[in-house]
Amino acid sequence: MVQLYRAEDDDWLTVLRKKQQPNNQSTLVLRPQDGFVLATHRPAALMMAIEIAADLLQSEAKAIYVDVPRHQNIAVISSLRDYATEKIVQIIGIYIGGQIRRVRVYATATEDLCRGIVHGIEAGTSPEELMQNLCAPNTDVLSARMMGGREQHS
């Protein structure tokens, strides 16, 4: 998408291009576990740790991009290859800084996905029971889970 802006004082145009995500690109989130802080490691070291943990071929490694947002302790992994994505999502730990660190990797929601919160569900309700009892007109419910800690207060 291109947007044109004209400066008020001058006769020049500013062109802003909205970055378009390729149709075949998958986006994954790598979330560290057990207090592991990604910002304490160089991005190149993180990239190498992901490549090794996923056992990526050189051609697969060239098709991924890793970004670490400044104010979040996550890594956003973009991949143009489905088979690289399948390998990366199976990672449960990476070797970085001389230690094996536990991580969780999951796919991000697609643009046509909607999330919602349902209030008033009894504590201890199982995911299976939630799925059986949730219904949304003209919408498929893909998954459901209880929020909060193990101990729920009323």
| pTM for the model | 0.62
Q: Can you say whether residue 128 is alpha, beta or left, with left for phi > 0 and alpha for psi between -120 and 50 degrees?
A: alpha
pLDDT value for 130: 84
pLDDT value for 22: 55
Q: 26-107 has which CATH code?
A: 3.30.70.330
User: For the chain, which residues make up each domain, given as ranges?
Assistant: 26-107
SS3 27: strand
pLDDT value for 21: 55
Q: Which parts of the chain register pLDDT below 70?
A: 1-23, 110-113, 148-154
Q: Which residue has the tokens 């201890």?
A: 124
pLDDT value for 56: 95
3-state percent helix, strand, coil for the chain, nearest multiple of 5: 20, 25, 55
- CA–CA dist 74, 4 (Å, integer): 34
pLDDT value for 127: 80
pLDDT value for 87: 96
